[in-house]
Amino acid sequence: MKESTLKAACLASALAGLLLLFLVSSAAVSSRTGIVGITLDHAGRTVKICGSVDSLRISNGHMFFNVDDDSGRLRAVIFNGTAAKLGTSTLAISQPDGNPATCFIGVVSEYPKGSGQVELVVTRIEDI
C-alpha cells in the first residue's frame, strides 16, 4: 500500500472515530446536572436534573412548570403526547421539606426562540 494511501486511510479512520465519539456523547444522558450549570451551550443535548416542582400549570394536556434545586430554577414542559405515555400521576411533587423528589430527563432548548432563555423538554421522569 502506498504511503499516501495509508495516511489518508488513517486520517479518515481518526475523523470517523472522533465523529462517533461526538455523536455518542451528544446523545448520552449526562449524570445529574445542577440547574445553574444548564446554559444555551446545552441546547439539543439530553440532561438529567433533579428538583422540586413549582408553579405547575396544565393547558391542552401540556404540563408547564418550574424545577428548583439548590442551584437555581429551570422552566420545563411535558407535551401532551409525552404526558400520555408517562401518565400524569408520574409528575411527583417534592416533599414538604423541599428535598428533590423527582428527576427529569429531557432535551434542553431555547424558548422562546432567540430569547436566550433555556427550558427542558421532558421525555422521562424518575423518582429519587
Same domain, yes or no, for 63 and 114? Answer: yes
Count CB-CB contacts under 10 A for residue 94.
18
Is residue 30 classed as helix, strand or coil in its secondary structure?
coil
Residue 79 has pLDDT above 60, yes or no: yes
- Rounded percentage of the chain residues whose pLDDT exceeds 70: 75
Same domain, yes or no, for 78 and 123? Answer: yes
Q: Please give the angle made by the CA atoms of 91, 126 and 31, to the nearest 5 degrees.
A: 135
pLDDT value for 92? 45
How far is residue 114's CA from residue 128's CA, in Å, rounded to a whole number? 34
Residue 87 has pLDDT above 90, yes or no: no
Residue 118 lies in domain: 31-127
Same domain, yes or no, for 67 and 35? Answer: yes
* Number of helices and strands in the chain (H, E): 2, 5
